[in-house]
């Protein structure tokens, strides 16, 4: 597998760990001393919203700080149009992301109404921006050293 494809897979594992609220899986893709910074891109000026240092702290934040999914609910982080640059054992990734909230409708007690067909519920985009991690290859494995998240819309904590 090429370095570029391996780097894309690291991002795929990142978004799945976030969707599953799986802190162990998230911390496994960061270097032990890895860092994650979250910004709001305010009309082109990056405003730092927060920072996490260490793979363990990053994983713990995914498990304990991300809002749990409601019943019949889920999130889907999607990434698009990766730009990857590899220089030896260091790489950068610049990828657009969109996060969707998915909420399945509750099946009525008497069953679905006449004429109901297909998937029942809502899918709503709630976040977008860019992920811009710096990765290092250690012992043949790409891992995130410094992850930067740039949100397109203001973010409340």
131 assigned to some structural domain? yes
pLDDT of residue 67: 85
Mean pLDDT per block of 10 residues along the chain (157 residues) reads: 96 97 97 97 94 97 89 94 98 98 93 91 96 98 98 88
Q: How far apart are the first and last CA of the chain?
A: 39
Concatenate the DSSP letters of all residues of 54-102 into one string.
SHHHHHHHHHHTSPPPPTTEEEEEEEEEEEEEEETTEEEEEEEEEEEEE
| Domain containing residue 60 | 3-151
Question: CA 101, CA 9: separation in Å to the nearest integer?
Answer: 23
- What confidence score (pLDDT) does residue 66 get? 83
CATH code at 78? 3.10.450.50
Burial bucket for residue 68 (CB in 10 Å: 0-12, 13-18, 19+): exposed
pLDDT of residue 122: 95
- Predicted pLDDT of residue 156: 81
pLDDT on residue 155: 83
What SS3 state is found at 125? strand
């Amino acid at each position: 597998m090429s370095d570029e494809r391996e780097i894309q897979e690291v991002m795929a594992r990142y978004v799945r760990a976030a969707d599953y609220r799986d802190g162990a899986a998230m911390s496994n893709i960061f270097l032990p001393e890895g860092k994650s910074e979250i910004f709001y891109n305010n009309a082109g000026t990056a405003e730092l919203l927060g920072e996490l240092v260490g793979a363990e702290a990053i994983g713990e934040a995914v498990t304990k700080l991300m809002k749990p999914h409601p019943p019949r609910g889920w999130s889907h982080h999607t990434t698009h149009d990766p730009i990857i640059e590899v220089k030896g054992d260091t790489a950068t990734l610049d990828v657009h992301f969109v996060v969707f909230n998915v909420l399945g409708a509750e099946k009525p007690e008497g069953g679905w109404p006449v004429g109901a067909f297909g998937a029942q519920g809502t899918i709503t985009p709630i976040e977008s921006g860019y992920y811009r991690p710096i990765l290092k290859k250690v012992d043949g494995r790409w891992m995130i050293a410094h992850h930067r998240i740039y949100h397109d819309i203001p973010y409340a904590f």
